[in-house]
Structures are given as structure tokens and as C-alpha cells.
Amino acid sequence: MTKRWTALALVLWGTALTGTALTGTVGATALDFGVSYHGGAQGGGWARVGVSDFPALGGRVSAGLSTRAAEVGYGRSLALPPLGVVTARVDAAVALTGGVRMSSRLGGSVGPVALNLWAAGFSTSAGRIDPLALWNFDATDSRERGVAADLRARYRVSRTLIAVAGGEFGGQNMGTVGVEGRRELTRTLPPEEGAQPGDEPETEPVGTLTWRAGVRAGQNVLGVTGGVSYAAESGLNLGLDALVGPKAFGITGSVDAGELLGPGSSVRLYAAYEPWRTTTTPLRAGLAATRPLGGGEVGLNVSGGRSVDGTTGYGARLTYTLPLGESTQP
Amino acid sequence: MSNPPKLTSILALCGVLLIPSASAQTAQDIISKVDAAQKAARDISFRLSGNASLESSPQKIDFTVKSIPAQNIARLQFNAPDALADNIVVADKNEIRQYLFLTNQVTVTSTKKAADGAGFGGLDFTQLSSVASLLSQYDVKLLSTTGTAGKRLYQLEATPKKGNTTDKTRVFITEAGWRPTRIQIVSSAGKSLADLNVGNYKVNSGLSVTGLKQLPKDAEIVRQ
């Protein structure tokens, strides 16, 4: 099969690509700097310096040292354009106050199927490594110790319909099944000069409407889930998801404002109210913004939340990421 | 063509010789003209659609290709099959970026590394400097010529010089603009493995490097 793809690809690229010899390398390794302050029960400052995506051992290594922990990670992937990718990743963090967190992730997609497996074991909470972690948009397990696993599968039934199934295990075991659909919003372009009579008219995408529907069932949660997203070509992205059950209710929403702060920038506002969650922070909200600055990217993150026991916390973080060497990021 | 002439090549050559000398073309002449036409273009875009039996059963294949040859950049966007629809591959001289719709990921592979890999990356991208050098790995012959002067349609057939595949690639080239109009891949047994039409062929439509490199911004970046 590969041979035939290759033959087809060859013709294709041969037709598409002509020019001078191909040279050069990818500059992707980056230095990361961050400082934060957070208030609440165990408030205080935090600072971190690290390196990410350093090519080594056939993959990419990341490492960091903060005022709270030492971290190292290794990821490796095999891309098979245009069919899919297989990625594997392990991360470890040692808290300076004692305790470790280890996690590994294996993900792969080939054609219409995608699988994602994640497992973690820890003897210190996520908040002791990264004080703002518990207020992320995606719910983070806030337990002090334990094991957790996450399994997700996606199958593309047709171009516009995806079947999803997953399970979360650890502090609060649950399973989910559902479907995702979407509708491409396009506008037809006027015919080009010199277009052949048989040519189909070219269309230009203006946005995408995505919907989600499913069921979530497990410990202390049973409900139907539904959501809708709108993504405009400008980069604006709106999302709203809800869970409704006999004894459970939850709602999450986010707004990505696109390049509001100039080319290459991003602004995201999010809020999540999920009182049915028993091992993660049920109420979370935040604002995250990035923009290019002096060859790198500066980021500001302000977030906060209220935990299961009713204590509130908040924090602000300033980060700077500096790519080393040539960056070809568009 | 450095290889010893084969009987089929000789027959093809005979065929060429029968055409009135004013329009005599060899496969090499045609390749040179296509090569020159592409090098003269600032940008090229087209759509390839048809059927292919890349695995067992035939399936619909449909994708668009956009390229700025002088910048060594090409973008390929799938419409069909459903399993690959909305996936995008962007290749330039440094890296190959692949957007996967299903997982909302962008994989980044250095072009050099991709040359050792599998999939589309299994191609030696350093050989893609021109159609002429690309086809140097193939025996190319002219199968037929049809149509009247100015609108002639040439059918070329390429057979790999080495490698364990005996599949042949047939490319139809129109004299009007020296561009491909149809691509077929045929097994040695004569079975059609892929039959794709080239449509919406446009030259110098004002494509930009930024536009060709554009991928969804919220995708997770996976570096190989």
C-alpha cells in the first residue's frame, strides 16, 4: 500500500513542487521562563525555568526547575502524512517538599480511528508542582495521592460525524459515550478567469459549527451532555457544553478571541462550573493571553477557582517562551 | 534515459516517428516543457479527484494542491475519502506539517527526517527539485498522442527504474498550457489502481506563503 501511496504522492509532489535544492533544519527547541503569584490558603510566589522540545534520544526532551519541583519529560512521535500519527510521552516531576508525579500517554490515529491512553500515579498533588494547575479549563485531579487513568476513542463515521467513547478512572470513575457532528459554513467564490467549463465552483470557508451530544455515567454523576461550538476563520472560537441529570448539573464555556492583540497573538477566556466533580476543582475560571515579543512569546494567565471544600484561590502568571534558532512557525 | 532501450520503448519511439515531424515530441521534450511551464509559474493550484484502490476496495480520492514552486512550498488538502477529509499536509524546504482533523493535532517533521520515514515522507524530498530530476528515477515513455495541433494530448507512462513495485504511472499532458489533466496508476496486470482527473488548474492566482502555511490555530503541536 505504501508503494502505491508513494507512487501517487510522487506524481503529486512532482507536479506541485519545483525549484531549488531543499536544505535546512527545524528549529523548535525553546527556553521557557515563568513567574507567578497565587493567593488563597497556601499562597505565595513561584518561578520556573525550563527547556522544551529539545531533540534527544530519537525524540523530544523537556526539563524544568521551579521553586517547587524538578520536572523532566520525554516524547516521541511517528507521523505518517496524511494518514495519522503515533505519539508516546512520559513525564515525571519531583516536588521539592517530597512526593512525585509520573504520567504516561500513548496516542495514535490512523485514518478514521484515534485512540488515547493516559495513566498517572502520584504521591503529591498537582497544585504542589504547579499552583495554577487546579484552575485550568480542563479538570485536573486535585487529590494528594493516587492513581488515575483516562481512555478515549474517536471513530469517524463519516466526514461530518464522529463517534466518541471514553472512561476516566481514579478518584471518580465514569464513562462517556457520544457523537460529534459539524457543519461547514462556506461561501461560493465568483468563478475565476480561465476556469474550465467542467470545474466546480471554488468555495471559501467562513466558519464551522460543531455540536456534541452524549451520556456521562459513573460515581456521583449521571446525565446527558450536550455542547455547541462555533469557529470562525478569523480565529474566533466559541464553545458551550452542559451536563444535565437527575442529580447533576454542570456547564463549561470558553471564548477564543483569535488574534485580538495583533498577528500571532491569542486570547482565551474560560469558565467551568461542574459541582458534580468530586476530585477536581468544581468552579474554575481564567483568562489566558499570548503575543509575540522580541523573537519569543509572552503569556499572561490569570485564573482562580473554588475547591470541593469551599476554599477559593486565585493566581496570576507571566511566562516567556524563547525559541532557539530559526522558527518556521507560521 | 540511461537505461538500455526496451522493446516497448522502441515501439513507442516508432509511434512517435510516425507523427508528422513538425509536431514530433519525445517523452523528454514533453517533460522539459511541463518543467519549464511550472518553473515559469509563480503559483500553481489544482484539484485531483477520482478513484483509487490503494488498499483493497476502491475509494473516492479528492484533494486540492496549492504550490509556490520558487519557495518550495506545497499544500495538500483532502476532501475525500471521509477518513482523510479535512486533513492538510504542508511541505516546505524545512519541514512537513500535517493537520489531523480527527484529533485536532498538527505534526511537525523535518523534511530531512521525513525522507527516512514512511507515508508521503518516504519520498526523498531532496529529489523534488524539478519534475525532470524526479522523473530521472523512472523510465518514461510516450504512449500516445491525440488531438489537433495546439490541443494535443500526450499520454506518458512512467515505470520505476528500481524498487519492488511494477505499478506504472500514466500521466496525460495537454499541449495547451503544458499541464497534466489526468493521472492513472496501473498494475503490471493492467488493473487500474488509481484514476484521478486534474481539475481547477490555475496558474498565478496570487497564492501567498502565509495562506499556504495556514493551519487551525487551536491544534495541538506534535514535534517529531
**Among B102, B108, B193, B213, the residue to mutate for chain A (most A Cβ within 10 A):** B102
At A13, phi and psi to the nearest 5? -70, -30
Mean pLDDT of A174-194: 86
SS3 call for B41: coil
- Measure A311 CA to nearest chain B CA, in Å: 32
Instruction: Tell whether omega for the bond before A82 is within 30 degrees of 0, i.e. cis.
Output: yes
Q: Which of A18, A179, A188, A270 to mutate to test the interface with B (most CBs of B within 10 A)?
A: A18
Domain parsing of chain A, residue ranges: 27-72+126-146+158-163+172-186+203-323
Give the per-residue pLDDT at A1: 42
Ranges of chain B with pLDDT below 70: 1-24, 54-56, 113-135, 163-164
C-alpha cell at A296: 519569543
- Residue of A88, A82, A59, A109 lying closest to B119 (CA atoms): A82
Residue contact B163–A199, C-beta within 8 A:
no
CA–CA min distance A155, chain B (Å): 8
Question: Which pLDDT score, from 0 to 100, does residue A14 have?
Answer: 43
Residues A182 and A160 sit within 8 Å (Cβ to Cβ): yes
Instruction: Tell me which residue in A22, A199, A200 faces B125 most closely, judged by beta carbons.
Output: A22
d(CA A27, CA B35) in angstroms, rounded, equals 32
Helix (H, G, I), strand (E, B) or coil at A94: strand
pLDDT of residue B133: 59
d(CA B182, CA B197): 4
Domains identified in chain B and CATH numbers: 7-15+23-217 (2.50.20.10)
A-chain residues near B134 (CB < 8 A) = 10, 13-14
Q: Which pLDDT score is estimated for A199?
A: 66
pLDDT score of B24: 52
- Give the confidence band of A222 by pLDDT, cuts at 50, 70, 90: very high
A residues 258-317 lying closer than 8 A (beta carbon) to B? 258, 266
> What pLDDT is recorded for position B94?
85
Angle at A122 between CA A120 and CA A123, to 5 degrees: 170
